[in-house]
Amino acid sequence: MSKGKMRIAVLVSGGGTNLQALLDAQKAGKIPSGEIVLVLSNNPEAYALQRAANFGVKGLAWDGTVPEGLNRRQALEAWLLQHLKEEAIDVIILAGFMFILSPAFIEAYRDRIINVHPALIPSFCGEGFYGLHVHEAALGYGVKVTGATVHLVNEIPDGGRILLQKAVDILPGDTPEVLQKRVMEQAEWILLPQAAELLCRELGEQA
């Protein structure tokens, strides 16, 4: 693995506001131990790709091609691994990446993948809890506090070691959309860059 700054890839699927927070933090000098050099999307329509382009960061989208003998997941992961290797990536950040990675993929980057989840794990997490569904579930249950979690990725969906967590109040009249925005503003966009720096610094010290 490389010495000096950790080479970071951000994996996205949608709007990319967490990617934006990471790029802004990098510009502001808040991720001195790493550098975002690659953005990969499983969805060619993801606005996150435009955000990468605006920042002059290389962004690529999977075109959905599934070579013979592979299933969809294997094809996507092969495509991801090829580009991660080509760019000598040290650290992977899942920022709204709506896809559960296989054990083999996770093993290839053990303790080098982080994910942001829009709830206080172990609440409202695991398979099926993604995006707005997470906030619908929190409102449906009637909890008064939710938040966001950044954790290392292991084979259990949303089950890896927690790095950072921040609570956010639920207010009367909240809709899933309103709550999602508050959780992003008050927790996700702050925690994710902090966790990126934490992990890059830790790995840099080990190198």
Strands 91-94 and 58-61: unpaired
Closer to ligand GAR at the Cβ: 135 or 204? 135
Active site (annotated) includes residue 135:
no
Whole-number minimum distance, CB 77 to ligand GAR, in Å? 17
Which residue is closest to ligand GAR by CB? 96
Interface residues with ligand GAR (CB under 6 A)? 14-18, 48, 95-96, 116-118, 130-131, 134, 184, 188
Facing residues of 180 across strands? none
Whole-number minimum distance, CB 82 to ligand GAR, in Å? 23
User: Residues 117, 133, 135, 151: which is the catalytic one?
Assistant: 117
CA atoms within 13 A on the CB side of 179: 29
Closer to ligand GAR at the Cβ: 101 or 204? 101
Closer to ligand GAR at the Cβ: 79 or 130? 130
Query: How many Cβ atoms are within 10 Å of 178's Cβ, its own excluded?
Result: 14
Closer to ligand GAR at the Cβ: 195 or 204? 195
Whole-number minimum distance, CB 140 to ligand GAR, in Å? 16
Query: Which residues are catalytically annotated?
Result: 117
